[in-house]
Amino acid sequence: MKIERVELHTIDQPLVQPFRTSFGTEINRPCILITVYSGGLIGWGECVAAHNPGYCYETVGTAWHVLEEFLIPAILGQEIAAPTDIPNYFKRVRGHNLAKAGLENSIWDLFAQAQNVPLSHLWQRQRDRVEVGVSIGIQPTIPALLTQVDNYLSQGYRRIKVKIEPGWEIAPLTAIRQQQPDIRLMADANSAFTLADVPLFQQMDELKLLMIEQPLDHDDIFEHSKLQARIYTPICLDESIHSPMHAQAAIELSACRIINMKVARVGGLTHALAIHELCQQANLPMWCGGMLETGVGRAVNLHLATLPNFTLPADISATDRYYHEDIAEPSFTLNAIDSTITVPNAPGLGVEVQLDRVAKYRQRHGVFN
Ligand code: OSB
Ligand code: MG
């Protein structure tokens, strides 16, 4: 398919409630929506870079720059034979995976639409509903946290993830455990701890957590292998895994027992599929992470999580957990009966972007052809 035109739209939407992690608080969530045009079809992608380089070094500003100056020129006017060729077009750009993923994924949407199939029919779709949980930000008090947990459990979510940081770990997790002895509970540190905290993690072993996500440095694999050898709770790596090579290193070093797959963090669906394959071979379970996406990115995540090795609940919650009004329809709702979200079935992503809403939240617009 020939890439005739690309548009970028930086939007900024207010979150239903502020999302606080060990790296900062998000009140509004920006993203860059990407539109690609080919042969009368329009593909959509979402670049999940945020305002601040807290989760990773990219921001909406760096992503726009890299897209405009390097990634869009690499594909504009090119005849693309298959979406899996895209990493090759981008190979002269080091890093900037969030920017790459947004653009690559929009081309996957184009190809799925051209074949008139849902995106997940381009790979081994194994299920029509994806088991999901909810990720709860750091709260001002333990009672406030317990209220949030009760609220999400009563909505039907059956796996609870809690953000932690030094000073907000054992006490909040213990409080939840006391009220909910049997729920699937896990913690995400977003790299807030060091190896000096081994005793703290050994204490956490008592809490029967499903896993601890990214306890140590954002670009570390080796020290996680040291921590994993000293605790029973499985470590799940998020921030540290940017490529199939990183996944391989983590597996060989026993740095984790689980991987959080974020398609943005690994630079797009082609690499995500490669990592899925590798983890499946190694018998390493995985699950689909989230980046507070709009309906565009959420649809991609749901399609991705239909792959067979996604065996743990995803961080893909219902639309109303994030936004009052999202830019795509239909919005996603939780199937409370089994804590799942249904995978869209229309061609491509299977959601319709509402251009009037994009215009309402848009801060910057660029057209490249
Ligand atoms: O570390 O998993 C993370 C959101 C933004 C940045 C990093 C993370 C998260 C989440 C939210 O935990 C997951 C979601 O519901 O989208
Ligand atoms: Mg995480």
Write down how long the chain is.
369
The answer to whether 304 and 269 are in contact (CB under 8 A) is yes
Instruction: Indicate the DSSP class of residue 210.
Output: S
The mean per-residue pLDDT over the stretch 200-222 comes to 98
**Ligand 2 is a single-atom ion; what residues have CB below 5 A from it?**
188, 213, 238
- DSSP H or E segment with residue 187: strand 184-188
- Which two three-digit tokens encode residue 335? 């199937």
The reply to whether 348 falls in a domain is no
The reply to whether 311 falls in a domain is yes
**Alpha helices, DSSP H only, in the chain?**
60-66, 72-75, 86-89, 97-114, 142-155, 170-179, 198-204, 222-228, 244-252, 269-281, 295-304, 355-361
Q: Are residues 161 and 227 in the same domain?
A: yes
Distance from Cα 91 to the centre of ligand 1, integer Å: 27
Provide the pLDDT for residue 288: 98
Check if 292 has its Cβ closer than 6 Å to any atom of ligand 1. yes
The reply to whether 171 falls in a domain is yes
The reply to whether 333 falls in a domain is yes
Q: Are residues 125 and 201 in the same domain?
A: yes
State the Cα–Cα distance between residues 37 and 40, nearest whole angstrom.
7
Check if 220 has its Cβ closer than 6 Å to any atom of ligand 1. no
Can you give the CATH number for the domain in which 100 is found?
3.30.390.10
Check if 350 has its Cβ closer than 6 Å to any atom of ligand 1. no
Provide the pLDDT for residue 280: 97
Of the chain, the percentage scoring pLDDT greater than 70 comes to 100
Positive or negative, the Cα torsion across 44, 298, 272, 11?
Answer: positive
Q: Are residues 266 and 171 in the same domain?
A: yes
Question: Which ligand is closest to the CA of 297, given by its number?
Answer: 1
Q: Are residues 157 and 66 in the same domain?
A: no
State the Cα–Cα distance between residues 101 and 86, nearest whole angstrom.
10
Q: Is the pLDDT of residue 129 over 90?
A: yes
Instruction: Tell whether pTM > 0.95.
Output: yes
- Which two three-digit tokens encode residue 346? 């229309």
The mean per-residue pLDDT over the stretch 123-136 comes to 96
The mean per-residue pLDDT over the stretch 55-79 comes to 98
Q: Which amino acid is at 7?
A: E
Tally of domains within the chain? 2
The answer to whether 3 and 75 are in contact (CB under 8 A) is yes
Distance from Cα 218 to the centre of ligand 1, integer Å: 14
Instruction: Indicate the DSSP class of residue 43.
Output: E
Question: Which of 292, 317, 321 has most ligand 1 atoms within 8 Å of CB, for mutation?
Answer: 292
Q: Is the pLDDT of residue 192 over 90?
A: yes
- The residue segments making up the domain with residue 189 are 121-342
Residues facing residue 291 across a β-bridge = none
Residue 81's CB is within 10 A of a number of other CB atoms, namely 8
How confident is the model over 286-327, as pLDDT tens digits?
A: 999 999 999 999 999 999 999 999 999 999 999 999 999 999
- Which two three-digit tokens encode residue 184? 């699937």
Check if 319 has its Cβ closer than 6 Å to any atom of ligand 1. no
Q: Are residues 92 and 219 in the same domain?
A: no
The reply to whether 349 falls in a domain is no
Q: Is the pLDDT of residue 124 over 90?
A: no
Q: Is the pLDDT of residue 209 over 90?
A: yes
The answer to whether 266 and 243 are in contact (CB under 8 A) is yes
- Which two three-digit tokens encode residue 365? 């617009």
- DSSP H or E segment with residue 21: strand 5-21
Q: Whose CA is nearest to atom 6 of ligand 1?
A: 291
Question: 94 CB contacts (<8 Å, ≥6 apart)?
Answer: none
Antiparallel, parallel or unpaired: β 328-329 and 352-353: antiparallel
The reply to whether 173 falls in a domain is yes
Q: Are residues 169 and 96 in the same domain?
A: no
What is the band of 38 on the pLDDT scale with cuts at 50, 70, 90?
very high
Question: Which of 135, 138, 320, 321 has most ligand 1 atoms within 8 Å of CB, for mutation?
Answer: 135
Q: Are residues 53 and 168 in the same domain?
A: no
Q: Is the pLDDT of residue 172 over 90?
A: yes
Q: Are residues 213 and 313 in the same domain?
A: yes
Q: Is the pLDDT of residue 272 over 90?
A: yes
Q: Are residues 245 and 332 in the same domain?
A: yes
Q: Are residues 186 and 82 in the same domain?
A: no
Check if 55 has its Cβ closer than 6 Å to any atom of ligand 1. yes
How confident is the model over 157-169, as pLDDT tens digits?
A: 999 999 999 999 9
Note if 163 is an active site residue.
yes
What is the band of 188 on the pLDDT scale with cuts at 50, 70, 90?
very high
Chain center to CA of 289: 4
The reply to whether 150 falls in a domain is yes
Antiparallel, parallel or unpaired: β 159-163 and 184-188: parallel
Distance from Cα 131 to the centre of ligand 1, integer Å: 16
Q: Which residue from 302, 354, 296, 293 is spatially nearest to 321, judged by alpha carbons?
A: 293
The mean per-residue pLDDT over the stretch 187-215 comes to 98
Question: Which of 16, 17, 20, 21 has most ligand 1 atoms within 8 Å of CB, for mutation?
Answer: 21
Can you give the CATH number for the domain in which 290 is found?
3.20.20.120
How confident is the model over 332-354, as pLDDT tens digits?
A: 999 999 999 999 999 999 999 99
The reply to whether 87 falls in a domain is yes
Check if 291 has its Cβ closer than 6 Å to any atom of ligand 1. yes
What is the band of 41 on the pLDDT scale with cuts at 50, 70, 90?
very high
Q: Are residues 20 and 151 in the same domain?
A: no
Residue 369's CB is within 10 A of a number of other CB atoms, namely 11
Residues facing residue 12 across a β-bridge = 30
The mean per-residue pLDDT over the stretch 250-270 comes to 98
Q: Are residues 149 and 265 in the same domain?
A: yes
Provide the pLDDT for residue 102: 98
